[in-house]
Amino acid sequence: MKLIVGLGNPGKQYEKTRHNIGFMFLDEIAKEHNLTFKLQTKFKGATALLRLDQDYILLKPLTFMNLSGEAVKLVMNYYDIALEDILIIHDELALPTGKLKIKPKGSSGGHNGVQNIIDNLDSEEFARIRIGIDNFKEDIIDYVLGKFSRKEMKLLAPIIEDAPNMISYLDKQGLEKFMSYYNTKYNE
């Protein structure tokens, strides 16, 4: 069993906001595979089971972004998932909109949701897909909680639409080849 976590905030008012790119990524996977997320209060999140060559729990923490680690830890412990079998998808201010960077591990880079996961798991040893949302030097909170413009959505659409293929590629090829291929594809 592996765990794929899309970070975001619950509630209609946060749909299609920059901070919810992780939820959008998982929603596209669920749509492609006809999956429905189920509220799991014991996990403080909504989950769906994706069956490929391996089984994946898709998790949307419903704790709000800055407490995401609580939900991740609950699912990780319940299913006895190893750190190397966790993938976090989140927004990244340090990357231009429409670019992404896959990392096998590392610091939070100032992302509070990722930092909370690091704090709860007491480790940085998990992979993540950082999806660029740019940084226009506005008030950061207002910016990340703001809705994507049409132009931004056009730049992000290829990544979101590719989400199911990305996870299938990861499932078949492993993390190293996955990183090499997609870090090149979305940064040319």
Distance of CA 134 to the CA centre of its chain: 16
Q: Is 112 left (phi over 0), alpha (psi -120 to 50) or beta?
A: alpha
Active site residues: 19
Task: Find, among 16, 40, 37, 47, the residue nearest to 156 by Cα.
Answer: 16
User: Encoding tokens for residue 56?
Assistant: 């994946």
The two counts, helices (H) then strands (E), for the chain are 6, 7
Strands 2-6 and 86-92: parallel
User: How far is Cα 17 from Cα 146, in angstroms, rounded to an integer?
Assistant: 5
